[in-house]
Amino acid sequence: MTRLTLAIDVMGGDFGPCVTVPASLQALESNPHLHLLLVGDPDIITSSLATADSVLRARLQIIAAESVIASDARPSQAIRTSRGTSMRIALEQVKEGRAQACISAGNTGALMGLAKLLLKPLDGIDRPALMTVLPHQQHGKTVVLDLGANVDSDSAMLVQFAVMGAVVAEEVLAISQPRVALINIGQEESKGLTSIRDAAAILRASPEINFIGYLEGNDLLTGKTDVLVYDGFVGNVTLKTMEGVVRMFLSLLKSQGEGKKRAWWLRLLGRLLQKRLAKKFGHLNPDQYNGACLLGLRGTVIKSHGAANQRAFTVAIQQAEQAVQRQIPERIAARLQAVLPKSD
Amino acid sequence: MTRLTLAIDVMGGDFGPCVTVPASLQALESNPHLHLLLVGDPDIITSSLATADSVLRARLQIIAAESVIASDARPSQAIRTSRGTSMRIALEQVKEGRAQACISAGNTGALMGLAKLLLKPLDGIDRPALMTVLPHQQHGKTVVLDLGANVDSDSAMLVQFAVMGAVVAEEVLAISQPRVALINIGQEESKGLTSIRDAAAILRASPEINFIGYLEGNDLLTGKTDVLVYDGFVGNVTLKTMEGVVRMFLSLLKSQGEGKKRAWWLRLLGRLLQKRLAKKFGHLNPDQYNGACLLGLRGTVIKSHGAANQRAFTVAIQQAEQAVQRQIPERIAARLQAVLPKSD
């Protein structure tokens, strides 16, 4: 494997360097080919690295950024005043070819806007979309997008999301002729919003897309489709709903091994079984698939959960490594030419 | 308790009389004050009742309906040609005072439109909303609406949903000054769709509503709010997403006690623990809270899941019993006068 350099927006996210620096070291430890550019306040980064292994330290470079985009800033304003922020400088590393991808846990709207401004959308794409890959009940995976890069999506955008999702399913998950579905509130053609019905009509008429129609919310994890397309608002609420329910189940399971009043052997068995169950459900733990990929740009940008812990942020860095290795932007660009309508 | 009469659209739902008739008998068995009007094909209903206990049979009346609204019919067209259908005749029983509420598992859009047409919205309500009550992690309950009665909601509708939800929380769940939140894709004021931001501004300025701001999808079950307001599309997808995830967990738990290769005592213990867990999570089983209430009408209408099984449809009938006993439409009407802006 060749050298791989990623830029990290160290200051982004709810916990900033406390999470991003240890996660960066962990990622370096697990991939000897990885180099990282840590963008942020040099003093804070240096002190966070005080006890770091010097071998890992050698694959790190600190890039100074004097300010941070607040997580509650209005994206439009944050973008106007973004010069010198850790997020912008991290993205500039990708733009200028010094890094192959950028990872940030910062303000989603600002990241989306700045990435579009600096890295430019691919031909045929109006707006990038946030995508993740979820494990489903049939032991396969489903590509899910948009998870909130856009608040409002028209039919043309939904079609573009469908095409990008199909390319990821084909190129990354190696599914030939991946099934593509649109989320809706019923399976009948007449159901739902106009934008969704119009997108369905376009997809139905596209021989390059294996469009299977509408699916409802309860099919998110059933494996009935390889690609599930949401508008950004619904996708964001859906993914977070799923995460909330999964976290609740995992915490209920965890409490299962506890309870002081039970006999020691019952507690022991409880804990054994709890471990088995946690293992069985662990693949659904939101920390395991942190890092949504911003698709549709001429570069790779990974958005981590703002509240990601060290383990979850490490997973986001690893998502970036995979996206670069699999050349997702290049492959989407190549396929878009064939699938999307030509603009004259 | 006084006599209670409910009208059942026997023909609605994926399984029609096979589910609705046995569920009706079960509901009669558990409430000696209940009387039911079974609306549908008299031959099918009579044959489904062949082995029914004559004591229960005495509290049943069959009302003939010659046709059924298909679950995939376009609501607008279904409503135009609804004369003589089981759904319409069941609703007419409420309109004409022969029943105090109606339950249907049929076409949601048609039920919503017909109910609005026949029972009329309350003063101040533009469009009724589908509401359910979900158990949350703090051992309380959250009122959730709209679950899909409307596809597209403007800010005025969201405000009306918030008011109706608050009334239900106060009057039915006995929560004083219930907390009301709007679902959004971030907690900051600037986030999300214009309709949501506008609704938030109105609610923030309403002293009668204890508006606590935005919540995100992962807060559906955390108990941070007593009322959570969605537009119908997002609410429908959210509730179904939650159901899908919960069903997956319950089926994974169920498979936990199985496995032929394990020692008999391990299998036995596995099954014991599985039972404990199923009990612990059982309150989240979608069958347990089937039956969404159509709020904002001058009468009580309960929408059951189309795919409801006998147990779930029985729960929907019981929801109707409770809604009638708690006089939900009357209480909402009374409170709306105080809270909603006067139209001159």
Q: Is B307 on the interface with A (CB under 8 A)?
A: no
**First-residue to last-residue Cα distance in chain A:** 41
Residue A337 has pLDDT above 90, yes or no: no
Q: Is A269 on the interface with B (CB under 8 A)?
A: yes
Q: Whole-model pTM?
A: 0.88
Place of tokens 């959250």: B142
Distance from CA of A56 to the nearest CA of B (A): 36
Which one of A214, A234, A253, A269 makes the best mutation probe of the B interface by having the most chain B beta carbons within 10 Å?
A234
ipTM above 0.90, yes or no: no
Q: How sure is the predictor about A95, in pLDDT bands with cuts at 50, 70 and 90?
A: very high
pLDDT at A344: 45
What is the Cα–Cα distance from A163 to A159, expressed in whole angstroms?
6
The structural architecture, per CATH, of the domain B1-125+296-329+338-343 is 3-Layer(aba) Sandwich (3.40)
Which one of A189, A218, A222, A225 makes the best mutation probe of the B interface by having the most chain B beta carbons within 10 Å?
A218
CA angle A217, A223, A224 (to 5 degrees): 75
**First-residue to last-residue Cα distance in chain B:** 40
Contact A185 B236 (CB under 8 A): yes
CA angle B71, B76, B80 (to 5 degrees): 100
Q: Which residues, listed in sequence order, are joined to residue A67 by a DSSP beta bridge?
A: A85
Q: How sure is the predictor about B208, in pLDDT bands with cuts at 50, 70 and 90?
A: confident
pLDDT at A128: 93
- Domain segments of chain A as ranges: 1-125+296-329+338-343, 126-289
Output B215 or B282, whichever has higher pLDDT.
B215
Residue B188 has pLDDT above 50, yes or no: yes
Output B281 or A193, whichever has higher pLDDT.
A193
Among A residues 94-113, those touching chain B with beta carbons less than 8 Å apart:
108-109
What is the Cα–Cα distance from B170 to A261, expressed in whole angstroms?
38
| pLDDT tens for each residue of B330-342 | 888 887 777 666 5
What is the Cα–Cα distance from B241 to A230, expressed in whole angstroms?
13
Mean pLDDT for all residues in chain B:
89
What is the Cα–Cα distance from A159 to A340, expressed in whole angstroms?
9
Q: Which CATH class is domain A126-289?
A: alpha beta
What is the Cα–Cα distance from B56 to B104, expressed in whole angstroms?
21
Q: Is A249 on the interface with B (CB under 8 A)?
A: yes
| pLDDT tens for each residue of A3-17 | 899 999 999 999 999
Q: How sure is the predictor about B191, in pLDDT bands with cuts at 50, 70 and 90?
A: confident
Where on the phi/psi map is residue A150: left (φ > 0), alpha (ψ -120 to 50), or beta? beta
C-alpha neighbours within 13 Å on the C-beta side of residue A238: 32
> Does residue A131 contact residue A300 with C-beta atoms inside 8 Å?
no
Cβ contacts (< 8 Å) between A193 and chain B: which residues? 151-152, 233
From the list B152, B217, B232, which residue is nearest A240 (CB)? B217
Q: Which residues, listed in sequence order, are joined to residue A213 by a DSSP beta bridge?
A: A181
Q: Is A278 on the interface with B (CB under 8 A)?
A: no
Among A residues 155-184, those touching chain B with beta carbons less than 8 Å apart:
183
Cβ contacts (< 8 Å) between B230 and chain A: which residues? 237
Please list, in sequence order, all residues whose beta carbon lies within 8 angstroms of the beta carbon of residue A72, skipping any fewer than 6 positions away: A107, B186, B187, B188, B190
Contact B217 A234 (CB under 8 A): no
Contact A241 B270 (CB under 8 A): no
Residue A263 has pLDDT above 90, yes or no: no
Q: How sure is the predictor about A210, in pLDDT bands with cuts at 50, 70 and 90?
A: very high
What is the Cα–Cα distance from B295 to A28, expressed in whole angstroms?
56
Residue B344 has pLDDT above 50, yes or no: no
Place of tokens 């400088």: A89
Cβ contacts (< 8 Å) between B281 and chain A: which residues? 249, 252
Output A247 or A162, whichever has higher pLDDT.
A162
B244, closest residue in chain A (CA to CA): A218
Place of tokens 């200028």: A96
Q: Do domains A1-125+296-329+338-343 and A126-289 have the same CATH topology?
A: yes
- Per residue, the 3-state secondary structure of A192-235, as one string, reads CCHHHHHHHHHHHCCCCCEEEEEECHHHCCCCCCCEEECCHHHH
Distance from CA of A216 to the nearest CA of B (A): 7
For helices B232-254 and A232-254, angle between their N-to-C axes, nearest 10 degrees = 30
Distance from CA of B146 to the nearest CA of A (A): 13
Among B residues 191-220, those touching chain A with beta carbons less than 8 Å apart:
191-193, 216-220
Contact A241 B243 (CB under 8 A): no
| pLDDT tens for each residue of B117-166 | 999 999 889 899 999 999 888 888 999 999 998 888 999 999 999 999 99
Top-confidence range, A75-84, A190-199, B89-98, B286-295: B89-98
Please list, in sequence order, all residues whose beta carbon lies within 8 angstroms of the beta carbon of residue B337, skipping any fewer than 6 positions away: B123, B124
What is the Cα–Cα distance from A217 to A228, expressed in whole angstroms?
10
From the list B192, B216, B237, which residue is nearest A217 (CB)? B237
| pLDDT tens for each residue of B218-258 | 999 999 999 999 999 999 999 999 988 888 877 777 665 55
| pLDDT tens for each residue of A293-315 | 999 999 999 999 898 999 999 99
Contact A233 B193 (CB under 8 A): yes
State whether residue B187 is helix, strand or coil: coil
What's at B269, amino acid-wise? L
Q: Is A54 on the interface with B (CB under 8 A)?
A: no
Question: What element of type H or E holds A48?
Answer: helix A42-48
From the list B238, B269, B273, which residue is nearest A241 (CB)? B238
pLDDT at B115: 96
Contact A151 B192 (CB under 8 A): yes
Q: What sign for the dihedral angle of Cα B231, B232, B237, B242?
A: positive
Distances from the Cα of A234 to the Cα of A239, A251, B59, B161, angstroms: 9, 26, 45, 19
Average pLDDT of the segment spanning A325-329: 89
Q: Which residues, listed in sequence order, are joined to residue B36 by a DSSP beta bridge?
A: B6, B60
